[in-house]
Amino acid sequence: MKKTLLLISVVLLALVFASCVRVAPGNSAGADVELVWKQIQDAPYVEGRLIVGYNDIEALSEIVSLLDAEITIDIPRLNAAGLRFDSTVEEARAAIRELFVERPELVASIRYIEPNYERELIKPVKDDNLKLPELPVVLAEDAFPDLEGFLWGVKKVRAPQAWAAGYDGTGIIVAVIDTGIDSNHPDLQGQITHRYDPLLDLEIDPDIDYSFGAHGSHVAGTIAAKDDGHGVVGVAPGAKIMDIPIFQPDYIGDEFVAAGIVYAIENGATVLSNSWGGKGFSTLLYDAIAYASENRVVFVNSAGNEHVNEVKSPAMYPGVVVVAASTAGDGITHFSNRSVKLSVAAPGDFSILSTVPLWDVAEFAYPDLPYAYYGGTSMACPHVSGAIAILQQKYRDMGLTVYQYRKLIELGADDIMAPGKDNDSGYGRLNVEKSLSLDPDAFGTGGNAFFWIQTKRTYYDEELEGDYPMGIPGVYVSMIPHDRNLPPIYIKSIGDLELAGAAAFDIDVGMYDVYFGSGDLFDPSSLLYFSGRVQEQEGMKWESYEVTHNPINYVWADVVEFSSSPKLVIEKISVFQEGTEIVDPEITLLQFIVTAINAFTGEEFSSTISYDGGTFALPDYAPAPQYTLTSEPFPGLEDFLADKTVVFTGYVEYDNDPGRRIYFERELPAGTGFISDGWSFYFSAF
């Protein structure tokens, strides 16, 4: 299999094509793949809001005008914007679809359109029995007592041994993407260097209280509370914190979170600590996290506290370090989510002591002391974020990839559950001292995978003076590793009709079975949206696809061609007058002209169908990608059919496969109109 080496920028991809590989229909994609995508897309979203990825700002303006919408935020780095409008999402979808039908040239200028999914903070698990009436230590005069003795988690991950070796996170900035932080807390004073409010698109004074809840302050304390002999101390006390509040107190939306991620990356953060999630594959968040990977920024995410094994966003995206919660006895908490996506576990039972806002007295574990005992994967996650800051201090000049930092964390962990990697603790419980002793060059740089998703048929590009395949945005790609200890990869093709691809960065090397299909019918920029081809795509499979270590900044690109070879089969034609079917030998002499009209070029291809039915297939030279199907009576029959209704019954079949048919029954006054409008406005010619 021939490949082409590409220099990759996550957002702007060069127009280069590798050798073509036809992905033939294989076995069923398997219940696990289909179930994952069903769970992901069966997700609640916010009404009156959409996210639009664009290539042309003028096309975005057309949609804004159509919906009478306002742009909530524009993110030029990711070529995406958030929209707010008064109608429902379904009404907006219908309006956009109609616009694209009338002006198909706009489709090429839109990368994706998606809802704004609901997300939730992974809330801490609390035990009120840990709220004590008095502190069992002697209070220091005019200062908070030294509480380091209560920080079993910091000791468990062997952070003090890392400090003794000279590594405490100095020079590293960790972005806490959470509920905001109280910078007035004595343990956090001077530790917050940047603060950005994505909802306002403003930088905020980092020295004030900007907390919308206690969660973010607790996380910040575990990462980088000062080591000054008072209060608590973080895993990486030499690191600094960037505050990105995305729960104010409710979730502000994917578009604002993506803007916050971009801000963090471009203002010096090299670790992103996240304790939130939800269903719904967000192309925008996927783009933002891919941008982080491109810039060697590590995205850390809590696994969740529901004791379920379910893939959620953002933990599902390639390269994310997913963290479970462990106990003081090196078990796994009962609430911690299980998953093959887990990298490691870290301390997160009920007794993780850390900072809370000075105003949130109800959370104080001890009277007059702004500290609380929390549990949860939200408390485990910052232990890992702090540990990565320590590793980055040591290796900051080596330009390690996200994959290498993930492997340092994973392979340095202490195995605590089933031998080897498991779905409870990943590779084990975090041990930063051991991670510091490993050689990152021994792991390689990590693998990347990139698939051009395109049509087998071509179209003629007048500007380039040649025939080119069309891209197919919105195709789901699932990479299932042969080694079931490795995490599966879930991505989606992004782009436009000229070029669409699905990319996975910083992934594990090895052999994968790659499933293509279950296309995103929500996305009006996708050919799949118009054609309804989910049924036709199920089970497309590339067996034993190998991912190897790639040179940094490069990725091998492989082309996946979708072929449809569509044909229209009219099984029966019935003629009715005033609701009664006409049965007359002369009716059998009727003929109809079926015409396929290319939605983009206007080219027409026609065939005559008799009353007994027949088959119409596009010639091989007919260009991609979509056609409307119309019917009209054979010349001379118009007057006879003027007061009658003609019912066409049949199906569209793809690739001559009886298992891939879409059936329809369509009533047309006088036998004239769109046949295809009965099941989908378009049928696909790939």
- Which residues are identified as catalytic? 178, 215, 378
CA distances for 541 relative to 321, 450, 509, 613, 662, angstroms: 27, 15, 19, 35, 21
- For residue 526, report the phi and psi dihedrals to the nearest 5 degrees: -90, 140
DSSP string, 616-647: EE--TTSPSSEEEEEEEEPTT-HHHHTT-EEE
Residue with tokens 């082309």: 559
- In sequence order, the 6+-apart residues with CB closer than 8 A to the CB of 641 are 575, 590, 633, 670, 671
Tokens, residue 508: 């594990």
d(CA 640, CA 638): 6
**Helix %, strand %, coil % of the chain (to 5):** 25, 35, 40
Q: Which token pair is 233?
A: 């101390």
Whether the CB-CB separation of 416 and 425 falls below 8 Å is answered with yes
How many C-beta neighbours within 10 Å does residue 146 have? 16
Q: Cα angle at 464 between 463 and 465, to 5 degrees?
A: 90
Residue 29, helix vs strand vs coil: coil
Sign (positive or negative) of CA dihedral 554, 451, 547, 408: positive
CA distances to 30, 411, 480, 481 from 542, in Å: 13, 30, 10, 12
Place of tokens 């056609």: 627
Please tell me the distance from the alpha carbon of residue 432 to that of residue 382, in angstroms, as a whole number.
Answer: 13
- Cβ atoms of 294 and 301 closer than 8 Å: no
Q: Is the peptide bond preceding residue 25 cis, with omega within 30 degrees of 0?
A: no
- Is 157 within 8 Å of 235 (Cβ atoms)? yes
> Which amino acid belongs to residue 83?
L
